[in-house]
Chains A and B, each alone.
Chain A
């Protein structure tokens, strides 16, 4: 079902639930993996993904359609992730590095990573990035999202995003190069 059709059906109370069900089915995988990359843990990603769609339900009637529906959903998901990570730090009074270490421990415990040493170092390097820079890195590197769309999602200028991604890549490459033989 196309986005405009979902939105049209959502306006009608009789078909609202059906339309929303279609919306969740259409975007659940992308939202889940976007969140999962940020919080690493499946249970956290599951909770946040559900929260994202609850928010989408609450605010979809006010969606102005001056942006793509998926961009708007991505923006909600991004804010949920950043709020989750910052509230985690506030709650336990943790510095940036401790949350990164926690995420790294979860990543290393994941059996899917196996014995791929370079991949492990790459993930360590990515998890050491500040949250917002890691978000930019994920959107560009994994999702291959155009900068213009990233600007809509993050509310940041294209120039700032390009600079942020460039610095993130440099940091990642330096870290992996330095720790590859560890």
Chain B
């Protein structure tokens, strides 16, 4: 019968019989650990963020993102109108007869209905170049095929 193994009777070692790490391992380990440490913030202003709680930092980031959206939305309104106003101003400088001549000859496909729609929306607009009375315009609109009137 085999004698039972008793742990207390077995020679005790500080650790299992495993191969030792490389000879200079513990000399180099501190340097390797130090090299992996997170670098301090480059910007001094960023340090105060580290003192805030994670929840507060998340809230602050959300406010910053929403503020960015709001600012870009606010600033984009007047700027978008700018080029259109400038384009209208430069078009105003072109004589209307030249504009009408260009539209009718450049293949821009300006139809009577386009002019009629424009005149209906802005009653005085067509007077300068159509030389037509309101009654004549109404007759022209009445004479249009029904599908074209759908635009009105």
- Residue numbers of A with Cβ under 8 A of B are 17, 20-21, 24-25, 28-29, 32-33, 36-37, 40, 42, 45-46, 49-50, 53-54, 57-58, 107, 110-114, 116, 118-119, 121-123, 126, 141-143, 169, 172-173, 176-177, 180-181
* A37 with B15, Cβ < 8 A, contacts A172-B7, A173-B7 known: yes
Count of chain B residues near A, Cβ 8 A? 26
* A33 with B26, Cβ < 8 A, contacts A24-B33, A46-B21, A50-B32 known: no
**Cα distance A54–B29 when bound, in Å?**
12
Please encode chain B, from 1 to 45, with 1 for each CB lying within 8 Å of some chain A CB and 0 for all others.
010111100101111111111000110011011101110000000
B32 → chain A closest CB, angstroms: 6
Contact B16 A141 (CB under 8 A): no
In the complex, residue of chain A having the shortest beta-carbon distance to the beta carbon of B20: A112
Q: Determine which of A29, A111, A119 lies in contact with B26 in the assembled complex, contact meaning CB atoms within 8 Å.
A: A29
Q: Can you show 22 pairs from A to B with CB atoms below 8 A apart?
A: A17-B34, A24-B30, A32-B21, A32-B26, A33-B14, A33-B15, A36-B18, A37-B15, A42-B19, A50-B29, A110-B18, A111-B19, A113-B18, A118-B10, A126-B16, A141-B12, A142-B13, A143-B14, A169-B7, A172-B7, A177-B2, A181-B2
Which residues of chain B are near A58, meaning CB under 8 Å? 38
Do most interface residues of chain B lie in helix, strand or loop, or is the interface mixed?
Answer: loop
**Cα distance A177–B4 when bound, in Å?**
5
Contact A36 B15 (CB under 8 A): yes
A-B pairs with CB below 8 Å: how many? 88
Contact B16 A123 (CB under 8 A): yes
* A110 with B10, Cβ < 8 A, contacts A58-B38, A181-B2 known: no
Contact A21 B6 (CB under 8 A): no
**Cα distance A54–B125 when bound, in Å?**
76
8 pairs of A and B residues whose beta carbons are closest in the complex:
A176-B5, A112-B19, A24-B30, A177-B5, A53-B33, A177-B4, A33-B15, A113-B17
Q: Determine which of B17, B33, B36 lies in contact with A112 in the assembled complex, contact meaning CB atoms within 8 Å.
A: B17
Contact A173 B34 (CB under 8 A): no
Which residues of chain B are near A169, meaning CB under 8 Å? 7
Contact B33 A50 (CB under 8 A): yes
